Amino acid sequence: MHTKVICPGSFDPVTLGHIDIITRASKMFDCVVVGVLNNLAKSPMFTTAERIALLEKATQGLPNVEIVGFDGLLADYAREQGITAIVKGLRAVSDFEYEFQQALTNKKLNPELETVFLTSNSEFMYLSSSMVKQVASLGGDISSFVPECVHDEILNRLK
């Protein structure tokens, strides 16, 4: 069976925690679509096209990973693309309630769609895109938080 899954997120910016989840999913499934979406509750640092380009750089060594941008409901996009599951990373218990609610909503909208939760590597449990932006904007070192290939682009955006 060919398994095609999606890892959705805003990825603004992509972190090593994101790359860890994407890499682990790529070892479990035939095709991993990384779906870059706009979170209406956030003001993005990078455009959708820029985030896609950064993710393409950061995942270039993963041949079964595809980066796409999309708008609309995740459940609808998954149905249209033949995607069978959503892969989400959980950093802490605080993530679970929101992600569980999303999983139930997506299942209601698309009964064929499953959600798979991967626990974050302990090295990245505290890491979020918001934290990366805050540390970088205050002049802190983000080199242990983001892929090397996107590090300078993040710092340049803040200048």
151 has catalytic annotation: no
How buried is residue 152: exposed, middle or buried, by Cβ count under 10 Å (0-12/13-18/19+)? exposed
Catalytic pick from 10, 43, 129, 133? 129
Please answer whether residues 8 and 89 qualify as being in contact, where contact means their C-beta atoms are separated by less than 8 angstroms: no
Among candidate residues 10, 18, 26, 88, the one labeled active-site is 18
Torsion over CA: 79, 84, 31, 73 (sign)? positive
CA distance 12 to 37: 10
Straight-line distance from the first to the last Cα atom of the chain, in angstroms, rounded to the nearest whole number: 48
18 is catalytic: yes
- Which candidate in 42, 108, 130, 143 is catalytic? 42
CA atoms 97, 116, 129, 131: torsion sign: positive
Catalytic entry in 2, 26, 91, 120: 91
Is 137 an annotated catalytic residue? Answer: no
| Structure-token pair, residue 91 | 């950093």
Catalytic amino acids?
18, 42, 91, 129
